[in-house]
Amino acid sequence: MRRIYNRQKAVEYAQKWALARNPHFYNFDSMEGDCTNFVSQCLYAGGLPMNYKKDGGWYYASINDRAAAWSKAECLYKFLTTNKCTGPKAKVKPLEEAQIGDIIQISYDGKSFAHSLFVVSIAPILVSYHSETNAQNALFNPYVCKEYRLLAIK
């Protein structure tokens, strides 16, 4: 049975943890960054089930038992846009179609997407994220990056 994504619960989680780290999850700041880990936590808090497939899934049990899609932007994109089983699914859509609980990924170099932002408001588009400088309810500015994509959660 497919679970319904509770976007409001996901946003409430983002508001609670945007400026802090949930101790139940590893802090990836010293590795590839914590942004996609934070976004994954938000999706999970919104009721989307983990996919425990060892290769190509989306889950977190511990730092040593997790899927790459849980914490790496490009892997999350690939999982969300190709997933046909358990767990979240997404489609790339125009920014004008953003809803709360969606994800924006950005590319600073125009080659790879390395940062994930969580949409918490749509008029205007506000995002929360983890990075070197965490943000809560920050205005999304597409001009700070070379490319961006909206991952609309289905």
Res. 132 pLDDT band, cuts 50 70 90? confident
Dist. CA 149–CA 107, nearest whole Å: 9
Residue 45: which residues within 8 A CB-CB, separation 6 or more?
A: 9, 10, 12, 13
Sign of the four-CA dihedral 7, 60, 147, 13: positive
Residue 55 pLDDT:
87
Supply 20's token pair: 């802090």
Over the chain, what is the mean pLDDT? 95
Q: What is the pTM of this model?
A: 0.96
Per-residue pLDDT tens over the stretch 42-77: 999 999 999 999 889 999 999 999 999 999 999 999
Dist. CA 53–CA 61, nearest whole Å: 12
